[in-house]
Amino acid sequence: MGKERIVSQNVLASPAGVAGQASRRRTFAVISHPDAGKSTITEALALHARVIGQAGAVHGKGDRRGVVSDWMAMEQQRGISITSAALQFAYRDTVINLLDTPGHADFSEDTYRVLTAVDCAVMLLDAAKGLEPQTMKLFEVCRQRSIPVLTFINKWDRPGQDALALMDEIEQRIGLRPTPLTWPVGIAGNFHGVIDRRTGVFTRMQRSPGGAGLAIEEEMGTAEAAERFGAEWDTAAEELELLAMTEADHDQAAFLAATSTPVLFGAAVANLGVRQLLNILVELAPPPSARPTAAGPDQPIDAPFSGFVFKIQANMNKAHRDQVAFMRICSGRFDRGMVVTHAGTGRPFTTKYAQQIFGQGRDTIDQAYPGDVVGLVNATALGIGDTLYTGTPVEYPPLPSFPPEHFAVVRTSDTGAFKRFRRGIDQLDAEGVVQVLRSEQRGDQSPVLAAVGPMQFEVATYRLEAEFGVIVQLDHLPYEIAARTDAAGQEILRTESNVEVMTRVRDDALLALFPHRWRMRSVAGRHPDLRLDV
């Protein structure tokens, strides 16, 4: 890993203008439904870029370690991604910024933040299950942000749906026109390799011994492939003719406009088709471009330095026990140690401790360019959504908070651990793991945790114990709806039963909590002047 990461540093430092350096960046996220193989494809891409020597199964079976992007012990134990992670590495003459996202629906807020920081997304589909609910939700976020989407049909080495049926499903259910760039020879579960539709070249693929290394690939002529695979080759050829007749050919303008999606086939756990995916990302994914600002006009990439924080994470490495603010660079050149301005406060901020992140690992970085993700260490003055800049003031749109639907009072019975308890709660709030609410009737000793999904509570209690040594108890509250109100609304709601107003700690917003939507409508009907914003 070390040698390739040095290559990445050299690419970063090579002489070129900001625009030239930005053109060499590809910053993308992998999105999928849980268990579609998202973390596996993330690691397989790193393997093919030769920044790791061997892939590990998601569950780390036998002597195989867990994926590099799943750095949290809870992730490694469960074999799922519950937090986003950043990997940066060099491939060919390109710098890849790959952001792995949580697959579970309960962490959709974290995924949304990540999607604000990328220029492209890889949508991973399970060959057997096709489009699943969480994939649909994440795609809608991409559609709203006009993020180009490239589709990878995963697990083609296992029984699954018909390839043409999956193309129909993509077009019918999400409205993207699928334009396959590779096409499989052999049905799902009997995968022999892929045909490159642009060149007609067939690449036979075999899993490496043990499956942890690069796939064994062999280019084969049409006559030889037809003789070896017989009817399966004939079927693939007929399907290719059908695709040609329907003009399902790649159109770069349509892809960048997010109206079509290039499609590739493979099997991430066996590293089949991953090299093709990585090459396509380098060739077709868009580099960074001018970015919209809160004031309206786009910020050109060659303007003075600017960037925004999209994620905060603490205790990624037990050897460091520090807090890292993940910043997407939007314009200009970043130099470690430069003094920038915090847009929210107008105060200067020194970027002395800046690092390149590779999963749990990290290296000091001296320079970075638009599209890069830089980790600012111990930047406790920064919050999610904060903008940093030099020169002319600029500020990027704030990152919204999702309305919580689950609420619980958190307490510890260990009075000697109260300082650690408060420090842990503050940390979880700063990272956006949960929203922390202050209740007048319960006081500061019993804050209320608010979450989009119940699994966020599991992560919060796990981290409080693992990182801060505090065992807590949760008492769930009977609320399902949170609506923003004001001071006048708070006074009105004091007279209502089964309703409670709390203050969100991170921004002092007043949230009115209701047990269900019917109750909220009933209260609103009796108080027409009451402000309730869901």
User: Residue-wise pLDDT tens for the chain (534 aa)?
Assistant: 343 343 344 444 444 699 999 999 999 999 888 888 888 888 888 888 877 655 543 334 334 444 444 445 555 555 555 455 788 888 999 999 998 777 566 667 788 889 999 999 999 999 999 998 888 888 888 888 899 999 999 999 999 999 999 999 999 999 999 999 999 999 999 999 999 999 999 999 998 876 678 889 999 999 999 999 999 999 999 999 999 999 999 999 999 999 999 999 999 999 999 999 999 999 999 999 999 999 989 999 999 999 999 998 876 555 556 788 999 999 999 999 999 999 999 999 999 888 887 656 678 889 999 999 999 988 888 999 999 999 999 999 998 778 899 999 999 989 899 999 999 999 899 888 899 999 988 888 899 999 988 888 998 999 999 889 999 999 999 999 999 999 999 999 999 999 999 999 988 999 999 999 999 999 999 999 999 998
- For residues 369 and 18, the answer to whether their CB atoms sit within 8 Å is yes
**What are the helix and strand counts (H, E) for the chain?**
14, 30
CB contact set of 490 (below 8 Å; sequence gap of 6+):
501, 510, 512
Token reading at 508:
């002092």
Residue 190 belongs to what domain range? 30-82+103-284
Residue 263 lies in a domain: yes
Cα(339)–Cα(373) distance, rounded to whole angstroms? 18
Domain co-membership, 299 together with 424: no
CATH of the domain at 444: 3.30.70.3280
Give the per-residue pLDDT at 13.
44
Q: What is the pLDDT of residue 363?
A: 82
| pLDDT, position 218 | 95
* pLDDT value for 84: 57
The reported pLDDT for the residue numbered 71 is: 44
153 strand-pairing partners: 125, 265
End position of a domain, from candidates 284, 313, 330: 284
In angstroms, the CA 483 to CA 61 distance is: 45
User: Cβ distance 182 to 197 under 8 Å?
Assistant: yes
Residues 309 and 429 reside in one and the same domain: no
Question: Does 199 lie in the same domain as 118?
Answer: yes
For residue 400, being part of any structural domain is answered with no
Q: Is residue 21 assigned to a domain?
A: no
Amino acid residing at 466: A
SS3 of residue 308 by DSSP: strand
**Is residue 95 domain-resident?**
no
DSSP labels, 367-432: EE-TT-EEEEET-TT--TT-EEESSS---PPPPPPPPP-EEEEEE-S-GGGHHHHHHHHHHHHHHT
**What confidence score (pLDDT) does residue 70 get?**
45
Residues 339 and 428 in one domain: no
Considering the domain architecture, whether residues 68 and 133 belong to the same structural domain is answered as yes
What was the pLDDT predicted at 76? 52
Distance in angstroms (rounded) separating the CA atoms of residues 465 and 467:
6
- Buried b / exposed e over 428-457, threshold 16 CB at 10 Å, is bbbbbbbbbbebeebeeeebbbbbbbebbb
pLDDT value of position 73 = 55
Q: For residue 207, give the amino acid letter.
A: R
356 DSSP β-pair partners: 363
Binding annotation: 100-104
Q: Are residues 115 and 217 in the same domain?
A: yes
Phi and psi at 148, nearest 5°, equal -60, 140
Residues 57 and 176 in one domain: yes
381 and 429 part of one domain:
no
- In a shared domain, residues 120 and 234: yes
Q: Are residues 110 and 234 in the same domain?
A: yes
CA distance 406 to 486: 21
**What's the CA gap between 262 and 248, in Å, rounded?**
9
Flag whether 484 is in a domain: yes
- Please report the DSSP string for 278-291 in residue order: HHHHHHHSPPP--E
Residue 219, beta-bridge partner list: 203
The rounded Cα 497 to chain-centroid distance in angstroms is 40
3-state secondary structure of 465: helix
Residue 18 lies in a domain: no
pLDDT for 324 equals 87
Q: Of the residues 284, 300, 332, which one is the last residue of a structural domain?
A: 284
Residues 179 and 203 in one domain: yes
Question: Do residues 335 and 352 lie in contact, with contact meaning Cβ atoms separated by under 8 Å?
Answer: no
Tally of CB atoms within 10 A around 88:
27
Q: State how many domains the chain has.
A: 3
Q: What is the rounded radius of gyration, in angstroms, for the C-alpha atoms of the chain?
A: 25
Known binding-site residues for GTP equal: 100-104
Within 8 A by CB and 6+ apart from 90, the residues are: 4, 7, 8, 10, 11, 49, 51, 96
Which domain CATH number covers 207? 3.40.50.300
Could you tell me if residue 534 is inside a domain? no
Q: Which of 255, 284, 313 is the last residue of a domain?
A: 284
pLDDT (0 to 100) of residue 342? 97
Dihedral of CA atoms 235, 238, 244, 250 in degrees, nearest 10, equals: 10
Does 25 map to a domain?
A: no
> Is the domain of 308 the same as that of 264?
no
Helix axes 418-431, 455-468, angle to 10 degrees: 130
